[in-house]
Amino acid sequence: MLAPVLYLQRDEWFPLERVVAVVHPTRPIIAYHLLWKDDVTGSWIPFTVPTDEEVVWVGYDPATQAATDLWTYWHGKILHSRASGPPEFNIQWGKHGSLPRGAIESDLPPLRTLNSFWAFTYLGIPDALLGRLTRPGPICFCHGYARYRDFSRPLALRDRLDLTVRATDARESLAAVFGRPYSKKIPWPQEAP
C-alpha cells in the first residue's frame, strides 16, 4: 500500500535495477532506495561506477497506514510535500532526480528547476558523447521542454522490491544489494514526523 508508483519521463534510457525499502524502526517513515543502471552525465570519467542511486521517502499514519508525507532527494536538496493519496513520484530523464508527483515547478530551488536541467541536457552533449565511448547511453535529450516534463511511464515498486529491512542505519544492507561503492545518500529527511 505504501510502495510508491514512479512516473518515468517517457524517453528514459536507463532501467531501474534494484529497490531497497528501509522501514524506520521508531518513526512512521519508509525510505525507498532506487538503483538505476547509469546516469547520463560523467560516465566517461575513469573509475566511475555505472549506477545511479536515488532515494524517496514516504511518511505514513501508523493507525491508517495511509501516506501522509513525501520527501525526495532532488540534486542535493530535500523536497517535501504532503501526500494527497497513494505515494507517487516523477523521475527526471537521465539524472533520476525525483519529484513528488504534482510538485509545483516554480517552487524548485534556483538552478535546479526542470527548465534549467532541460537546458543543461544540450550543454551536456559533449559529456554524453564522451560517455558513449565507455558504455551505452543517450547522446542527448533531443526533444522540447514539454516532452522533458512528460512523466507518463508508470513503474509500480510494489513488485520490484529486492529487499525490505527495518533499520535506522541500513548501509550494510544497501551495500549487500547495491554493491560497493554506492552513493550513500542521506538516510532520512530531517522533517520526518
Residue 174 lies in a domain: yes
Task: Report the distance separating Cα 37 and Cα 49, nearest Å.
Answer: 10
Is 183 inside any structural domain?
A: no
What pLDDT does residue 192 have?
45
Q: Is 187 exposed, middle or buried (0-12, 13-18, 19+ CB in 10 A)?
A: middle
Other beta carbons within 10 angstroms of residue 106's beta carbon come to 6
Does 191 reside within a domain? no
pLDDT at 47: 76
Distance of CA 88 to the CA centre of its chain: 12
In-domain check, residue 41: yes
Residue 85 lies in a domain: yes
The model's pLDDT over 26-77, given as tens digits with 9 standing for 90+, comes to 999 999 999 999 988 887 888 777 789 999 999 999 999 999 999 999 999 9
Q: Can you give the pLDDT at residue 57?
A: 98
Domain that holds residue 149: 5-178
In a domain, 137, yes or no: yes
Give me the number of domains the chain comprises: 1
In a domain, 186, yes or no: no
Regions of the chain with pLDDT less than 70: 191-193
Distance CA 145, CA 151 (A): 12
Q: How far apart are CA 99 and CA 132, in angstroms?
A: 27
Q: What is the pLDDT of residue 193?
A: 44
- How confident is the model at residue 180, as a pLDDT? 85
C-alpha cell at 34: 532506487
Q: Is residue 193 part of a domain?
A: no
